[in-house]
Structure 1
C-alpha cells in the first residue's frame, strides 16, 4: 500500500483528453488529441478554473496528448502556475506516480496529468474501491479530473486518509 502524507494537502489527478488513433508509423507517445479531445481538455480546464481549482504545481507526462491537455489547463488557469514535464510518467505504473507525489517537498497542492491505468490505480489506492466505483463506475474517463483532499482529522497511519472531493468530467 502507498501512503501519501501531506504535503500536498490536495491532489488533482487529470487523465489526458481523448487522443487520435496512431497513424501508420506513428509512435504511441506522439499521438495527438482528437478534435473531441481538444474540446474535452478545454471543457475540463474551464470548469476547474470556474471552481477555483488551482494547484501550486502541475506535473505532466511528456507524451503529446498529455502536453496538449496541460496546454488547456495553462490557458485557463488564472495567474502563474509552474509546469513540469516528466518522461517517467509515460507508460508508467502507479508506483511511479506515487514516487512523484512522495518527492514534492512543501508543495501544498499538485496536479498530475497522465495516463490510465495508473491514474485509476492511484485514485483507488488513495480513496478506496467503494469511493472509486461510486465516482466512476465505468472506469476513469478521458479528461476526467479527480480532486482529492487530505482528511484533516485522519491519523497518519489511517488506511484511507484521502477523500474524493470532486470528480469533473467533460
Structure 2
C-alpha cells in the first residue's frame, strides 16, 4: 500500500474579509454608502468615530451624510442616538456662536464709550432688545451688526483717549 497526499479539495482556511479602502481614512472622507453600512451594522468604535465627527462639524459633510441615511430609517437604536448627537451638537454650536456674537457686541459698545441705553437708541433697538443680544439669547441680524460697528467706529474716532 502506498500513501499519497489527499488531492481532494478540503475546507478553505478562513480569511478575514478584505478591509475597504476608506477604512483607514477619517470618517469625514467616507462615502455615504460606508456611513450607511457603519450605522446599520457597525460596531461601537465606528459609531464613536462618527459621533466625534458630528460634534466636530455639525453642519459638515459627515453630518449631511448621516442626515441622508437617517432620513430613510426608523428612529430607534443607533439611528436615534446619532440623531440626538447631531441635534445636540448643532444646539451647542449655535449657543457658542450666540455667545461669540454677544462678546463682539459688548466690545463694540465698550469701544464706542456709550452707555447701553444710548447705544441701543442710536442703532434703533430698545435697551431690552440689546440686552437679549448681550445675554446671548438671540443674535442680531447681519445688517444690525454692521450698524453697530459703524456706530462704534464713529464714536471711537471721536473719543479723546483713542
Scaled by the length of structure 2, what TM-score is found? Answer: 0.23
Select the structure of larger CA radius of gyration.
Answer: 2
Scaled by the length of structure 1, what TM-score is found? Answer: 0.22
Question: Which structure has the highest strand share of the two?
Answer: 1
Question: Which structure has the highest helix share of the two?
Answer: 2
